[in-house]
């Protein structure tokens, strides 16, 4: 692979990846495994030292091997400070600041400030971090000009978002289509050429960077809104005495209807956050905001189902199965299951009784999560003496549970199924199942 600016000493393209986190490190390995000389830039020396001594620590063995294959070699060189490169990829966090109602772009600005003095004419800067429309051209472009010696027209600037899914990061990194949009045609072409040689998916070019930024946000907003309509319909169905999922299956018999399954909300890094970026410079986000409120409110709705089934939460022992935000992964970022547990266990969840206050005894079991901020229990210990079992994550391990064995371990018989894991055999075993 060769670069349009051809600054690699031996003709090899040089790529700096700024931010070696969940996306940045696999991205650095992607280009290092495809013939580039890659510099992995991260301002946290402890992280770099851990990578040098212990290697990658993803919960995907194939991804760990893929990263470790190039770590410590000339193909992937770890650095604390930026270096000159043909390409600079910005893969830093962009958390949403709920107090300001805006994306926190401080990490993006800091990365651009570090890149600026190292830029040469013809170099290309590509933002991969999820950002509000206009960020690449305005925030990043202006920061590069203000902190460097080059005018905008002398270097390339583009946006190319990632779309990886926990549990399938390597497959999606290599196989997914990409959207690329630059501030001009030359920048778009430069970014397209880099990714075209490294990924198997198609490269779709946008007319400009803002369109590419908007497209990424639109993808996740569409998913969030579709989940929200399923969740709202599930609540309406219960108001009419209708069990939601069988009704949805019937509705989906129509060739132009594709209702998703309801659930306890959405989690991960993208869906709970990305739609909010669209409201920074627009007043026309009513449906988007409502979808966010519906999905965020599902945690409270699941707690309502639990309270209705038990009659009272006072002093109850509740087994919560699942802390990750989705099945078969260990990722708890923005997890509705984690929020559910925190809400039940916090002091405000204590229920007044004649004898004072009695806290809910919450026992969490998750076979995938190991670094939770809450105590984790084994399956048998969590169920022992439980008044209720709540399914908050659809791990494969939960689908094989024997309802007869479950009811024998529990003191009461309440099951709240927020993930559609139970069937009629659970009712037949004598369990009072409330399903979303």
The radius of gyration computed from the CA coordinates of the chain, to the nearest angstrom, equals 24
Compute the distance between CA of residue 234 and CA of residue 255 in angstroms, rounded to an integer: 21
Question: How far out from the chain centre does Cα 128 lie?
Answer: 14
Residues 6 or more apart from 7 whose CB is under 8 A from it?
14, 84, 85, 86, 120, 122, 123
Query: Of 327, 313, 321, 330, nearest to 377 (Cα)?
Result: 321
Instruction: Respond yes or no: is residue 216 known to be catalytic.
Output: yes
Q: Tokens 């087994």 correspond to what residue? A: 319
CB burial of 364-388 (b: ≥16 within 10 Å; e: otherwise) equals bbbbbbeebebebbebeebbeebbb
Annotated catalytic, 160? no
Q: At what angle do helices 24-32 and 61-68 cross, to 10 degrees?
A: 60
Helix (H, G, I), strand (E, B) or coil at 376: strand
Closest among 142, 217, 153, 214 to 185, alpha carbons compared: 153
Q: Hey, what are 296's tokens?
A: 């965020």
Residue that the structure tokens 């899914």 belong to: 165
* Dihedral class, residue 403 (left if φ above 0, else alpha if ψ from -120 to 50, else beta): alpha
Rounded distance, CA 182 to CA 133, Å?
A: 12
Specify the pairing of strand 414-417 against strand 432-435: parallel
In this structure, are residues 121 and 148 in contact, taking their beta carbons and an 8 Å threshold?
no
List CB contacts of 242: < 8 A, sequence separation 6 or more. none
Catalytic residue among 270, 316, 326, 350: 270
Indicate which residue of 216, 316, 326, 350 is catalytic: 216
Q: Which residues are catalytic?
A: 216, 270
């Amino acid at each position: 692979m060769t670069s349009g600016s051809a600054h690699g000493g031996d003709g090899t393209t040089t790529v700096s990846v700024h931010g070696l986190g969940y996306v940045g490190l696999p991205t650095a390995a992607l280009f290092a495994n495809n013939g580039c000389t890659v510099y992995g830039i991260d301002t946290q020396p402890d992280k770099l030292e851990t990578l040098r001594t212990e290697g990658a620590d993803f919960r995907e063995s194939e991804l760990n091997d893929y990263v470790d294959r190039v770590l410590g070699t000339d193909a992937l060189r770890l650095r604390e400070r930026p270096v000159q490169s043909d390409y600079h990829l910005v893969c830093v966090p962009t958390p949403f600041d709920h107090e300001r109602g805006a994306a926190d772009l401080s990490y993006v600005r800091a990365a651009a400030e570090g890149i600026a003095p190292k830029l040469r004419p013809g170099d290309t800067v590509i933002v991969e971090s999820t950002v509000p429309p206009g960020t690449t051209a305005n925030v990043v472009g202006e920061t590069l000009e203000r902190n460097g010696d080059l005018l905008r027209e002398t270097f390339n600037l583009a946006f190319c978002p990632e779309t990886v899914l926990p549990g399938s990061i390597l497959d999606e990194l290599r196989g997914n289509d990409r959207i690329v949009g630059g501030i001009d045609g030359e920048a778009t072409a430069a970014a397209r050429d880099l990714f075209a040689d490294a990924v198997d998916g198609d490269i779709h070019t946008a007319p400009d960077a803002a369109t590419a930024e908007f497209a990424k946000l639109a993808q996740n907003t569409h998913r969030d809104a579709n989940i929200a309509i399923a969740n709202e319909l599930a609540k309406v169905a219960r108001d009419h005495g209708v069990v939601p999922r069988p009704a949805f299956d019937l509705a989906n018999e129509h060739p132009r209807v594709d209702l998703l399954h309801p659930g306890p909300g959405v989690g991960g890094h993208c869906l709970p956050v990305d739609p909010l970026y669209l409201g920074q410079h627009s007043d026309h986000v009513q449906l988007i905001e409502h979808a966010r409120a519906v999905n965020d409110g599902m945690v409270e709705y699941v707690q309502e189902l639990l309270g209705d089934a038990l009659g009272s939460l006072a002093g109850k022992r509740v087994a919560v199965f699942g802390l990750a935000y989705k099945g078969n992964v260990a990722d708890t970022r923005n997890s509705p299951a984690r929020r559910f547990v925190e809400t039940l266990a916090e002091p405000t969840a204590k229920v007044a009784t004649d004898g004072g206050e009695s806290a809910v005894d919450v026992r969490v079991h998750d076979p995938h999560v190991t670094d939770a901020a809450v105590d984790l229990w084994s399956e048998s210990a969590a169920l022992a003496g439980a008044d209720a079992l709540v399914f908050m994550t659809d791990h494969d391990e939960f689908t094989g549970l024997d309802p007869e064995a479950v009811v024998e371990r529990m003191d009461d018989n309440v099951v709240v199924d927020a993930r559609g894991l139970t069937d009629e055999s659970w009712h037949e075993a004598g369990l009072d199942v409330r399903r979303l």
